[in-house]
Copies of this chain bind each other. A is one copy, B any other.
Amino acid sequence: MNGAEALIRSLLASGVDTCFTNPGTSEMHFVAALDRIEGMRCVLALFEGVVTGAADGYGRMKDRPASTLLHLGPGLGNGLANLHNARRAYSPIVNVVGEHATWHQQYDPPLASPIEQIAGANSRWVRTAASVKTVGADAAAAVAASLDAPGGSATLVLPADIAWTQGAEVAGPVAVRARRKVDESRVRAAADALRKGQGALVLNGPMLRAAPLELCGRIAAKTGAELLCPTQINRAERGAGRVAIDRIPYVVELAQKRLAGIRSMVLINSRQPVNFFAYPGKPSLPMAEGCDVVVLAELDEDGADAAARLADLLDARRAAPKLEPLARPPLPSGPITLPGLAAVIAALMPERAIVSDESITSGRGLVAATKNAPPHDWLVNPGGSIGFAMPVAIGAALACPDRKVLCLQSDGAGMYTVQALWTMARESLDIVTLVFANRAYEILKGELKNVGAGEPGRKARDMLEIGRPDIDWVALAKGQGVPASRVEDLDGLARELRAALGERGPRLIEIRM
């Protein structure tokens, strides 16, 4: 058995059965081995930003890694932005990056570059396979490293000669460390903080799943604490029947206002809230001055257990959490408005939908509007590097083939990984993509003012607007095999969205704003 085959069989033995890829020459033995091995689903993307974003979406929905197969340093580089987002989402991913044959590296061939250095920017675990004897074990170690709480990217660099040499061995799975339990003193400190009043539980990561969230809802009900999550979350199980929780707004002034009344903040698997950017004369943190920040559980600790013990200590187990009721808005009509868009989506989104949200300015109001929709999952971009939503939708659709994926895509960000549409078509993925075509990096117009740079003149505006020429999203979708249509009012959107949701397979709707 050669190294490539042992690597794939070891990934399978550790439960990794999906590989997103755009391979090259140095990865050909991996590709060839696919023909000899049952069980590894290999998904081609036309650009590596799609590959890594898809792996992020898959990891979030499965809580298990997919693998990626990337072509040397440049292939990894192309995937770096969505690996950055995945790092901030703590998504488990196993990257396999091909490298030149060991004896060829001394000649610094054209595609050579410092792969480990590039990978180190976003990977928590980086290793170059050193021998065909151990490459199977490397793969198993990578899977375990990706799952080590809170989760992240593990990158295995695979020299071509190790892939093609015989004598490799399959490795069984490596045990993943259990999350550490927190010290009792931390539980008591959190209880003390909440007993003072004007408290908040700030949740992230696994705490935003339905069961731990419900537990925190009981603590909130008992203590009067608020339930909050940062702007940057990974995956939230939300909607009707789930506990109400507020996301801290992106805009600094709104975040400050939201947090003004909070005197103590208990973090469970969440970092402290921090503003996305610095602005002249504004603080970096949105909390009120003097707000006490208590860490109940670090990101890698067992937040659910800590919350359970906190609930016990506070005698909150039987308090009734505030659950969101089911309430669909009526379908609106007339010209496109942001509240109107939000209402159409809230009125029509199906139960168990997975929402991949990169709607940015066009989506303001969407989170609030959909909280009473049927239960669903909401995936957002905690890393801030655009080009996120369509690739993540691909991964989510492959992880959960029985669920409808709704991809909310701003046009500027969408162009970053527009090649994702082709993979949606090739794999017949059940994804409805709404493109909010406002023909601008609208958020940057606000940011230009926020940083104190004044009103943009012609030259600055040219860098913020993406009209001239207008992008025809229907053409871009159809050109890659995805059926598409354009709507210019809410009635059209309701009609097209209802039709798209009623069928299986990829669809795109361009919303002219």
Contact = CB atoms under 8 A, between A and B. Distances in A.
A186 to B, nearest CB: 22
Given A31-B463, A472-B478, A110 B382 contact: yes
B121 A113 contact: yes
A426 B26 contact: no
A172 interface: no
A316 to B, nearest CB: 31
Contact of A117 (B120, B277, B474): B120
A51 to B, nearest CB: 12
Contact of A78 (B78, B110, B422): B78
Given A46-B415, A425-B469, A472-B478, A88 B103 contact: no
A475 interface: yes
Contacts of A75: 81, 385
B104 A463 contact: no
Interface string A24-50: 111011011011000000101011010
A8 to B, nearest CB: 11
A447 B71 CA distance: 13
A453 interface: yes
Interface centre among A34, A103, A232, A464 (most CB of B within 10 A): A34
Interface string A68-112: 000001110110110011001000000000001101101111110
Given A74-B385, A100-B278, A101-B278, A451 B25 contact: yes
A448 B272 CA distance: 50
Contacts of A468: 426
Interface in A441-461: 443-444, 447-448, 450-454, 456-460
Nearest to A231: B110
B46 A412 contact: yes
A88 B117 contact: no
Chain A interface: which size bin? Answer: 35 or more
A276 B479 contact: no
A58 interface: no
Given A100-B278, A117-B117, A466-B46, A28 B479 contact: no
A277 B84 contact: no
A456 B32 contact: yes
Contact of A29 (B31, B46, B451): B451
A284 to B, nearest CB: 5
A454 B447 CA distance: 55
A351 to B, nearest CB: 30
A278 B161 contact: yes
A330 interface: no
A26 B44 CA distance: 34
A270 interface: no
A468 B481 CA distance: 8
Given A121-B113, A451-B25, A451-B164, A464 B74 contact: no
Interface of A: 21, 23-26, 28-29, 31-32, 34-35, 42, 44, 46-47, 49, 73-75, 77-78, 80-81, 84-85, 88, 100-101, 103-104, 106-111, 113-114, 117-118, 120-122, 160-161, 164, 232, 271-272, 274-278, 280, 284-285, 382-385, 387, 412, 415-416, 418-419, 422, 425-426, 443-444, 447-448, 450-454, 456-460, 462-464, 466, 468-476, 478-481
27 contacts: A23-B444, A25-B450, A31-B448, A31-B456, A31-B460, A32-B460, A34-B459, A44-B463, A74-B80, A74-B84, A78-B416, A80-B80, A88-B110, A100-B277, A103-B284, A107-B272, A109-B274, A109-B276, A109-B277, A111-B384, A111-B385, A118-B118, A118-B121, A164-B280, A164-B451, A470-B481, A471-B479
